[in-house]
Amino acid sequence: MTVSDRLETPRLWLLPTSLDVVRARLTHDTFRMTLDGVPVHFPSAWPGDALALFPVLLRAQFTAGQYTLVDRASHEAVGQLGMKGGPDAAGHVEIGYGLTPDARGRGLATEAVGALCAHLLSQDVIRAVTAETTPENAASQRVLQKVGFRQTGARSEPDDGPLLQWTLARP
């Protein structure tokens, strides 16, 4: 299974996030770095909520399946998305994503999530892509619905509270 290929959409490059990027973001608010031949500016708002995941990635020395969303016009990092681990025994893989505040409301999350899901579901080992949202996160729910996800359940976590579960199965 190939999960760290460069992916492209009309407005975005989804570039594999390296450990060097993770280290740079944990030590600098803003920085510039070349990813897969593309010079990228990382603003202080990047990667948004995903920043909490970065120390975990660094400790694990693992970034496979993680992508930096780069605006093709400005070469600015506008988000982060990726797998939250490998596929389980049933062939399901969970994804997470987030955009910088300035990038929200422009359809970029839908574009990126759609590209990642198409890539993942083209892999023989993956039968479905899953995601979770809080009940209050209507914007994220709309992204998932536009890509074709269906709400398949709900659960509650002590730290995160209630969560809605979403699934996009291979056609």
- Residue for token pair 């990092």: 77
What is the rounded average pLDDT of the residues 4-16?
93
Pair 168, 139: CB distance under 8 Å = no
pLDDT for residue 171 is more than 90: no
Report how far apart, in Å, the C-alpha atoms of 106 and of each of 57, 130, 166 are. Answer: 28, 23, 22
Q: 100-156 pLDDT, tens per residue? A: 999 999 999 999 999 999 999 999 999 999 999 999 999 999 999 999 999 999 999
Are residues 130 and 95 in contact, defined by beta-carbon separation less than 8 angstroms? Answer: yes
Is pLDDT larger for residue 5 or for residue 24? 24
Question: What's residue 27's pLDDT?
Answer: 96
What mean pLDDT, rounded, does the chain reach? 95
pTM given for the model: 0.94
> What's the pLDDT tens digit per position in 61-80?
888 899 999 999 999 999 99
Residue 4: predicted pLDDT: 58
Angstrom CA distances, 112 to 18, 31, 89, 150, 165, stand at 18, 23, 26, 18, 19
Residues 6+ apart with CB under 8 A from 63: 4, 16, 17, 18, 19, 21, 22, 57
Answer left, alpha or beta for residue 126, where phi above 0 means left and psi between -120 and 50 means alpha: beta
pLDDT band for position 1 (50/70/90)? Answer: very low
What pLDDT, on the 0 to 100 scale, is given for residue 170? 92
Domains of the chain: 7-169 (3.40.630.30)
Residue 92 has pLDDT above 70, yes or no: yes
Provide the percentage of residues in the chain whose pLDDT is more than 90: 86
Q: What is the pLDDT of residue 63?
A: 87
